[in-house]
A and B are shown apart, each in its own frame.
Chain A
Amino acid sequence: MSLDEFFVTGDPMIFASQIAIGLTMVGLIALITYLKRWKWLWSEWFTTVDHKKIGIMYILAGVLMFFRGGVDGLLMKAQTSRPEMGILDAQHYDEIFTTHGVIMILFMAMPLLIGIMNVVVPLQIGARDVAFPKLNALSFWLFFVAAMLFNISFVIGGSPDAGWTSYFPLAGKEFTPGVGNNYYAISLQIAGIGTLATGINFVVTIIKMRAPGMSWMKMPIFVWTTFITSIIIVAAFPIFTVALLYMTLDRLFGTHFFTVAAGGDPMLWLNLFWLWGHPEVYIVVLPAFGMFSEVIATFARKNLYGYKSMVYAVAGIAFLSMLVWVHHFYTMGNSATVNSIFSLTTMMIAIPTGVKIFNWLFTLRKGRIEFSTSMLWALAFIPCFTIGGVTGVMLAMAAADYQYHNTMFLVAHFHYVLIPGVVFAVFAGLYYWWPKMFGFKLNEKIGKWHFWLFVIGFNLTFMPMFFVGLDGMSRRMYTYAESTGWGAWLGFSAVGSLIMAAGFAALVYNIYWSFRYASRKVGNDPWNARTLEWATASPAPHYNFAKVPEVDRLDDFWYKKKKGETGLKKSDLKPVHMPSNSWTPIVLAAAFGVVGFFLVFEWFTLAIIASVGIVVGLVANTFDYDDGYHIPVDELEEEEREWRGDLK
């Protein structure tokens, strides 16, 4: 392979990015060296096993990926803003919708949600950390390495271009010979292993580490949704592991799982992809439901209406989510019975989802609503998501889907589900839990700019896409003729996407502004909230709770607060056991990344040599008998005094 095959050449935009990436890297390294921050980075962040820091790193990476995916989205919108535009050619458009889809779902939605889960869930259940802190760090680094591997594809080797669904036979070697789709297969495999580990970690954490007295029906609703999400992860990700393994074997070793020749079956890929893919959309949307529930209950100053029905609804959604996958390929030629049954199961999901919507509305009813920025996101979510849900029921009818399938109507539908369901939720969660992570609030005024720009921009962008879709515009079309009459709709839509981008810029500015100027005196409970994470300092100390809280009822903290029982007695303090930092996760993940890179380029000898790194990491890990360390009582006392004043 010659050097100009290795680096993507010939496109000025990509050339500019290559230079920009190169300069940024050099600049970052120089800056860190200049500030003498390497040691600090290594010992405080790269080797940390603290769930809060890991969560923050997830969030940071997720926001970066949102930027990358968003730029992809803007480019597509620019390309289709007028008929016959020439910004992107067909190949480039293919690459961009593919990377956009993959990055948004797997490298933006997943890390942001898992990041918030990481920060919040151990605090909400009154635990010191997750069940397996080192594994948690490994999950993060695997995700991070996978995201980087996927992202370099556009400058080294070429991007995948067969859609985020990468359907065969198109995604096979025969029709897509370059290395682009290898990036898809390998990097998602690495990310998937990390996600599976996260799922197991949270299932065990929530089963075994709840504060004394916190029985199942006394758990905060976000803990419930995280628990059920984690179960779906464990149930669904292994399917994707196998599908990606087959894809890798087909592409790298010439097998015939999904080929048309020699007895392969391309539809097996569709079947496996969506057996994972549908549960995956619930993996990203359920935690979001949990966050909205927390935010709505807090800012309506009421307990969540129908808590139990909420729990059953989430469990019901999780159960049904494994039984609906065929609705993504009704038009593949299944028998009428198959399509009818899957139509039914799909529509059944609307029932528990409806229950949730009404629960939120009833929580709001007669509440003393405070329109904080996070509450605004939750309020905007309800109508926007309902539009997504209702159009989903339209798509669920197999016969009608023959009309809608793979049109812009579908694209509008899933953005109406994913953006309110995930992005709004993440924004709500970030504004809400920001003080718990960093010890200061994000600015509410800039927050409102962020909110209004983004929500208006979002509706302007995607509402017109329903109409061009109904008018027959299929998805993944890079250009269209003037005579279609779609130009005006898509022009509006492009303007909308710019407004949305301005909203995102407002968020970034808000982070910058608040980091510099916001007041650092937020107290432990700035929102007058209900759950345990607000019982400890902001930002939460590394040991979370000086004394593990005891719980008598749902929203225990709220009632203890009313009775003034949240104080801490000096005599209650005991040394706290903490896990030690570890270098194995980051090194192991890096080894995975290197092996993955060599596999992408099908350099098998190098890949085998590099996999020694993985083996060494695993062996080192099994011989590691580190027992952690204890924080002495004096240190706890000092830290607690800092925000509580005197102890009793």
Chain B
Amino acid sequence: MTSHTTTPLEYKTQQSQMNILGFWIFLGAEIVLFSTLFASYFVLEHNIAGGPAGGDIFVLKDVLIETFLLLTSSFTSGLAIHAMRNHDKKGLLIWMIATLLLGAGFLYMEINEFLHFIHEGATIQTSGFTAALFTLLGTHGAHVTFGIVWISLLLVQLVRRGITEKTSSKLFIASLYWHFLDVVWIFIFTFVYLKGMVM
């Protein structure tokens, strides 16, 4: 912290500081949640019960597109917060909308991917492996969906109220959430997809 005047708006009030801290603690809980999903996936990964294995159903090209969409959206949400700290409402709005569009693109790809899995004979009921796979991916996808709806609602508030102590801290928290989903995806990309295709 340098001086009072440069404290970003979203940290101004005690309540926003607490909100941000509370959200970090919540992210700690999310790490535990996702690591439980990963742990179960690793335990069940080889229990394919005669159904397809990961290597049989994953398509590198689609996964890479999903990854780039999400990585880019993380970047644009970072730009959005950068704009917010410069009190640039328009920039904030534009970059956040870009983030949402990229997120929606990711979801579209993921839904198609699920349909492809099902088409290949891997439904959530097929085996221990598919149950763990769909639940891990699905939980992440559900988070992305939630994030899209949530950020959209925040943007409505932004348009109505402008960048205030409250809206800025809400948007900042949403951006933390969004980056976090990217982090989770990196691990899914590495330990589900790459590992599944190589091993």
Q: Is the CB of B128 within 8 A of A239?
A: no
Question: Which residues on A sit within 8 Å (CB–CB) of B126?
Answer: 256, 262
- Whether the pair B25, A200 counts as a contact (CB closer than 8 A) is yes
Asked if A245 and B43 sit within 8 Å, CB to CB, the answer is no
Complex Cα distance, B33 from A131, in Å, reads 23
Quick check: A623 and B157 within 8 Å, CB to CB? yes
Across the interface, A256 reaches (CB within 8 A) one of B21, B32, B49, namely B49
Contact B37 A242 (CB under 8 A): yes
Closest to B127 in A: A263
Known contacts A249-B135, A253-B124, A623-B157; A238 and B40 CB within 8 A of each other: no
- Residues of chain A having any CB pair with chain B under 8 Å: 131-132, 196, 199-201, 203-204, 207-209, 234-239, 241-243, 245-246, 249, 253-257, 261-265, 268, 272, 275, 619, 622-623, 625
**Residue of A204, A249, A619 with most chain B CB atoms under a 10 A cut-off:** A204
Q: Is the CB of B44 within 8 A of A257?
A: yes
Indicate which residue in B17, B18, B43 contacts A132 across the interface (CB closer than 8 Å). Answer: B18
Decide if B131 touches A249 in the complex (CB within 8 Å): yes
Contacts of B170 in A (CB 8 A): 622
On whether A263 and B47 interact (CB within 8 A), knowing A196-B29, A234-B29, A246-B135, the answer reads: yes
Interface SS, A side: helix
Q: Determine whether B144 belongs to the interface, using a CB cutoff of 8 Å to chain A.
A: no
Determine whether the beta carbon of A238 is less than 8 Å from that of B43.
no
With A and B bound together, what is the CA distance between A131 and B22 in angstroms? Answer: 9
With beta carbons under 8 angstroms apart, the residue of A234, A241, A254 that contacts B28 is A234
In Å, the complex CA distance between A525 and B154 comes to 47
Chain B: minimal CB distance from A257 (Å): 5
User: Could you tell me the distance between the alpha carbons of A95 and B131 in the complex, rounded to whole angstroms?
Assistant: 29
Asked if residues B29 and A237 are in contact (CB atoms below 8 Å), the reply is yes
Give A242 Cβ to nearest chain B Cβ, in Å.
4
State whether the Cβ of B190 lies closer than 8 Å to any Cβ in chain A: no
Q: Is A238 touching B32 in the complex (CB atoms < 8 A)?
A: yes
Can you identify 16 A-B contacts, CB atoms within 8 angstroms? A132-B22, A200-B22, A234-B29, A235-B29, A242-B37, A249-B135, A253-B125, A256-B127, A257-B132, A261-B49, A263-B49, A264-B44, A264-B47, A264-B128, A268-B44, A622-B170
Check A201–B22 contact: CB distance below 8 A.
yes
| A272 to B37 alpha-carbon distance, docked (Å) | 10
Q: Does B30 contact A (CB under 8 A)?
A: yes
Q: Report which of A236, A254, A263, A272 forms a contact with B48, defined as CB distance below 8 A.
A: A263
Residue contact B21 to A207, C-beta cutoff 8 Å: yes
A257 to B128, CA, bound (A): 5
Tell me whether A203 and B25 are in contact in the complex, defined as CB-CB below 8 angstroms, given that A241-B33, A257-B131, A262-B49 are known contacts: yes
Across the A-B interface, the 8 shortest Cβ-Cβ residue pairs:
A263-B47, A263-B128, A263-B49, A238-B33, A255-B131, A242-B36, A238-B32, A263-B127
Docked pose: A261 CA to B128 CA in angstroms? 9
Q: How far is the CB of A309 from chain B (nearest CB, A)?
A: 27
Q: Contact between A200 and B26 (Cβ–Cβ < 8 Å)?
A: yes
Residues of B within 8 A of A238 (CB): 29-30, 32-33, 36
Residue of B nearest to A203 (CB): B25
Q: Report if B191 contacts A (CB, 8 A).
A: no
Q: Determine whether B153 belongs to the interface, using a CB cutoff of 8 Å to chain A.
A: yes
The chain B residue sitting closest to A259, CB to CB, is B128
For residue B2, CB closer than 8 A to chain A, the reply is no
| Minimal beta-carbon separation of A623 from chain B (angstroms) | 7
The residue that A208 contacts in the complex, of B17, B26, B37, with Cβ under 8 A, is B17
CA–CA, A152 and B17, complex, Å: 41
Contact at A622–B125, with CB atoms within 8 Å?
no
Q: Which residues of B contact A209 (CB under 8 A)?
A: 18
A203, A208, A238, A272, most chain B CB atoms within 10 A? A238
Q: What is the distance, in angstroms, from B108's C-beta to the closest C-beta of chain A?
A: 22
Which residues on B sit within 8 Å (CB–CB) of A241? Answer: 33
Q: Which residues from A are CB-within-8-Å of B47?
A: 262-265
In the assembled complex, which residues on chain B have CB atoms less than 8 Å from the CB atom of A261? 49
Least Cβ–Cβ distance between B32 and chain A, in angstroms:
4
A557 to B: closest C-beta gap in Å: 24
Q: B150 at interface (Cβ–Cβ under 8 A)?
A: yes
- A254 to B150, Cβ gap below 8 A? no
Contacts A131-B22, A234-B28, A262-B126 hold; do A622 and B131 have CB atoms under 8 A apart? Answer: no
